[in-house]
Structure 1
Amino acid sequence: MPATEFDAIVLGAGAAGMMCAAVAGQRGRRVLLLDHADQVGKKILISGGGRCNFTNIHTAPDRFLSANPHFAKSALARYTPADFIALVERYGIAYHEKTLGQLFCDGSAKQIVAMLLDECAKGGVDVRCGQPVGAVEHGDGRFRVRFGSADFAAPNLVIATGGPSIPKMGASGFAYDLARQFGLKVVEPRPALVPLTLGGDDVLFRELSGVATPVEARAGKAAFREAALFTHKGLSGPAILQISSYWRHGEPLAIDFQPDAAPGWLLAAKRDRPRATLRAALGAILPDRLAETLADRIALPGELAAQTDRNLADAEARLRRWSFRPNGTEGFAKAEVTAGGISTAGLSSQTMMAKSVANLYAVGEAVDVTGWLGGYNFQWAWASGVAAGKVI
């Protein structure tokens, strides 16, 4: 049976794939958008607690990780948060800034998915879901894709199937298999924006499950000041999710439990409250259960007045750089995104096209570009999708 012909086939109806298809369709291209899931935008729908943190107004290239830190600059500069916000506003979708430049829908993430589907419809995009993507072949300047029992062909193919994070949503490493099939290199994928697990001497901190407090988390040169949350497996919360993208297995993680306290605050407490204990002093700035655990580990019994200034200074220094050695992460099942992916060395930063295979493109999370927590990964999806959509 002959294959149905299109100008472009986009594999993956997530954020990047829908944006790419809509832009190309509205340029007059005949576009086929395929997804094995039973509906489009499944990750969009669960993002931001169901309200979709759709961009971040502070987007800048230095807030993305990649083997090539310069790769994302071109696409991000040509399609900015302001561009996506303008699209959202054209559809009358109400939104708000939560914290740190993060924009969320006032209503539901369903509004973003509906908007993208409408944009695809304006471009006449043929959207098909709910069948497995089978063989993908290339020859005579055409890509041939088996979808369910049907065959489709086009001179342009876009890989927009994301990474393996959140496999319960149907995520997989399909993009990497396809990239390797066409000779593209893949930077080892790993979970990012993911909770960390604790063991060994740190295991007692798991008993603090449910306790949250503002901290500054550090790994290498990276540092994030937000909330940390103790869990029954280890550490989570925004500060931990952020730093997890920079942390490497076997390395220590440093936590400042008093990021807002003035230097020398313990010595000041000794002067102002000499009869207080270390636990009481910590309890004034930290949740009680955490204060008790930290005081027990520091082990300075008795009143502050009985402690030497040196011992108190040492205790404060330890609290400012408390060292944990996570024994791992909660894996792709709990990771919000995937770090690593299709190597940018084999792609054009202008068009997202493979340098070695004409008219083969890769966009979004499938590529080795990973943003911070807070809407940055959506902005990369929009920007990379537009970059490819304008040229296919």
Structure 2
Amino acid sequence: MPATHDLIILGAGAAGLMCAATAGQRGRRVLLIDHADQPGKKILISGGGRCNFTNVGAAPDRFHSANPHFAKSALSRYTPADFIALVDRHGIAWHEKTLGQLFCDGSARQIVAMLMEECAKGAVRIALGQPIREVTHADGLFRVTHDGTVSTAPALVIATGGPSIPKMGATGFAYDLARQFGLKIVEPRPALVPLTLGGDEALFRDLSGVATEVMARAGKTAFREAALFTHKGLSGPAILQVSSYWRHGQPVGIDFLPSQTAGWTIAAKRQRPRTHFHTLLTEQLPARLAEVLAKRIGLWGELANLPNAKLEDAERRLADWQFHPNGTEGFAKAEVTAGGISTAELSSQTMAAKKVPGLYAIGEAVDVTGWLGGYNFQWAWASAVAAGLAV
């Protein structure tokens, strides 16, 4: 049976669309298949509908994986500047927000339209609303059964993402398919996800809606951004960031006053001895949070009446407040999936599976996870281009 295409890509998300456009514009006959009825569904909801499409600081150390070196090759060969140039060619206005994050001025729909236009330039055939029924491999050809049709190609790209945000139709299909072909999986888990609190820490949930800038730590990794208390626990950018590094049973350390240096309470006592400790905290933190922290620390009254040793102890606690999350809000609230198809199975240059000729895996399906703020899109673009240039 002759091949009907040069390449079949499963998944019309960020990585799949980019890979299809890249390969199609190289003259490859590309079929892009997705069970969803429209392309780029996660692109459309990202960045509050404005798509945080990359980050100017997308260096390899902003990504984590069982192999921290794996992402270097693809990221170095397709950079944020390359994607910005593509956006500019399509006349899409954009702006930089905090920490190098780039967003469309208008709508995320512009990014999807751009990718669809790039696919059209490469004469990519796109089949939407077509669940994959079966994938087999024999005689050098992949056979994909979809919508009562069997399509064949010598190359197949897995670009179906991870199970984060299942309401958008996300599943673990990529892992099932990888296992079918004998590829190992690094256990998938929710990443960039709110953490939940229970037990003795449940009282912090009464602060729901309170946000403040903190330094949050999990293990050796720390992020200085806003933290938000929710009715379930902790969220906000700082918490989402450390969630990717957090493991069950570990504490999360919070420095509630990251701009303060050691001895600040003693200095305040000298300068303003009649000031109450609670008032001192309220001047630097939201009032409700300051009250809860002061109660937990157990210091009340004027600074003049509080021993220096107790003030120093309060400083230490505020600089490394230990929360003990009992879990996360799961894949339903996770922006991405950590873990996935093991990088040990893939070429870092081409994203090709070492054991199965013609098989590739890209994007979120692979065990490479970026920080919050456009990094995961940059990995999608870079890994997609690596595969698209190799097939």
Task: Confirm or deny a common fold (TM above 0.5).
Answer: yes
Instruction: Write the distance in 2 (CA, Å) between the matches of 1:132 and 1:120.
Output: 21
1:202-221 CA distances to partner (integer Å, 9 max, x unpaired)? 11000000000000001111
Query: Which residue of structure 1 lines up, in the alignment, with residue 222 of structure 2?
Result: 223
Distance in 2, Cα, partners of 1:179 & 1:271? 65
Equivalent residues of 1:344, 1:368 under 8 A apart: yes
- Tell me the CA shift for residue 46 of structure 1: 0.2
- SS of equivalent residue, structure 1 residue 135: strand
CA contact (8 A) 1:176 1:342 kept: yes
Partner SS for 1:250: coil
Residues of 2 paired with 1:115 and 1:36: CA distance? 21
Give secondary structure in 2 for the equivalent of 1:100.
helix
Residues 1:92 and 2:91 are matched in the alignment: yes
Q: Any unmatched runs of 5+ in structure 2?
A: none
Tell me if the contact between 2:3 and 2:141 (Cα under 8 Å) persists in the aligned partners: no
Q: Shift of the alpha carbon at 1:277?
A: 1.5
Structure 2 Cα separation of the partners of residues 26 and 255 of structure 1: 49
RMSD of aligned alpha carbons? 0.9
CA distance in 2, matches of 1:258, 1:300: 17
**Alignment partner, residue 180 of structure 1:** 179
Aligned partner of 1:142 in structure 2 is 141
Q: Which moved more, 1:2-11 or 1:124-133?
A: 2-11
Structure 1 unaligned spans of 5+: none
The aligned length equals 391
1:48 maps to which residue?
47
- The answer to whether the 8 A contact 2:193-2:330 is kept is yes
Write out the 4+ residue segments of structure 1 that deviate beyond 2 Å after TM superposition: none
CA distance in 2, matches of 1:305, 1:22: 69
Q: Which amino acid aligns with 1:100?
A: L
Give 2:72's aligned residue: 73
Q: Quote the residue 2:283 is aligned against.
A: 284
Amino acid at match of 1:332: F
C-alpha deviations, 1:306-346, integer Å up to 9, x for none?
A: 01111100001100000000000000000000000000001
Q: Is residue 355 of structure 1 aligned with residue 337 of structure 2?
A: no
| TM-score normalised by the chain length of structure 2 | 0.99
**In 2, distance between residues paired with 1:141 and 1:172?**
28
Alignment-derived partner of residue 34 in structure 1? 33
Q: SS of the counterpart of 1:9? A: strand
Query: 1:347/1:276 Cα in 2 relative to 1: closer, same or farther (>3 Å)?
Result: same
User: How far, CA to CA, are the matches of 2:130 and 2:379 in structure 1?
Assistant: 27
1:67-216 equivalences under 5 Å are 67-216=66-215
Quote the Cα distance in structure 2 between the aligned partners of 1:145 and 1:160. Answer: 14
User: Residues 3 and 152 of structure 1 are in contact (CA less than 8 Å); yes or no, is this contact kept in structure 2?
Assistant: no
1:4, distance to aligned residue in structure 2 (A):
7.1
User: Is the 2:218–2:246 Cα contact (8 Å) retained in structure 1?
Assistant: yes
Identity of aligned pairs, percent? 75
Alpha-carbon distance in structure 2 between the residues aligned to 1:294 and 1:41: 44
Counterpart residue type for residue 151 of structure 1:
V
Indicate how the Cα distance of structure 1 residues 212 and 3 shifts in structure 2: closer, same or farther if over 3 A, else same.
Answer: farther
Residue type of the alignment partner of 1:158: V
For residues 269 and 306 of structure 1, what CA distance do their matches in structure 2 show? 13
Provide the TM-score with structure 1 as the length reference: 0.99
